[in-house]
Amino acid sequence: MRVGPRHSVGSHCANIQSINGCVLHWVNEIRYLGIFIVSSSKLKCNFAYSKKAFYRSFNAIFGRIGRLTSEEVVLHLIKVKCLPVLLYGIEMCPVNLSDMRSLEFTVRRVLIKLFHTYNCAIIDSCMSLFGLSVSELAGQRVHRFLFKFNMLDNTLCKVCQL
């Protein structure tokens, strides 16, 4: 797979054979540490698998407790069990506006199912009241990652100076 200006050239190249005889095929997408990276002119990630896993985890929770408990409990479980699945690795992937809207819509669909409404005002207020805004959560994760990276970088500099 290639990422960069010549990303489309890889499909026309011959497969690579390793020393032990294994053949490496040219692909358009790879999975690395649970993040799907797509062959493109820039670094790009595919969030379709994350959305599928999010829906799977929500349906597992909702199928078990469904209408037996309050909406607050279900929303809390969505926040602590399902959203981390959806946002996994978002700190490392560049997310464009289209991807962010798609991830937001994924959470909206779950809230539509939970509250039986298509009213955008209700869904928006639930997302803000319960802290389910994907853009805000992604921003917090990126900020926390950069802060930890900066602390690690400072620690390594101090160790190297000794």
Measuring CA to CA, which residue among 117, 53, 122, 119 is closest to residue 89? 53
Buried b (16+ CB within 10 A) or exposed e, 62-90: beeeeeeeeeeebbebbeeebbebbbbbb
Residues 118, 112 contacting (CB under 8 angstroms): yes
Per-residue pLDDT band at 23 (split at 50, 70, 90) = confident
The per-residue pLDDT for 5 is 72
State the DSSP code for 4: S
pLDDT tens digits along 45-90: 889 999 999 999 999 999 888 778 888 889 899 999 999 999 998 8
The per-residue pLDDT for 111 is 92
Give kind and range of the element (H or E) at residue 32: strand 29-32
The per-residue pLDDT for 1 is 64
3-state secondary structure (DSSP) of residue 44: strand
| Amino acid making up residue 147 | F
Residues 43, 93 contacting (CB under 8 angstroms): yes
Residue range 5-27: average pLDDT?
75
Q: Is the pLDDT confidence value at 35 over 80?
A: yes
Domain map (residue ranges) of the chain: 1-46, 47-161
Q: Which residue has the tokens 């930890």?
A: 148
Please tell me the pTM assigned to this model.
Answer: 0.79
Using CA atoms, how far apart are residues 29 and 48, in angstroms rounded to an integer?
A: 12
The per-residue pLDDT for 56 is 95
Mean pLDDT taken over the chain = 84
Q: Is the pLDDT confidence value at 148 over 90?
A: no
Using CA atoms, how far apart are residues 26 and 1, in angstroms rounded to an integer?
A: 5
Q: Is the pLDDT confidence value at 157 over 70?
A: no
The per-residue pLDDT for 126 is 87
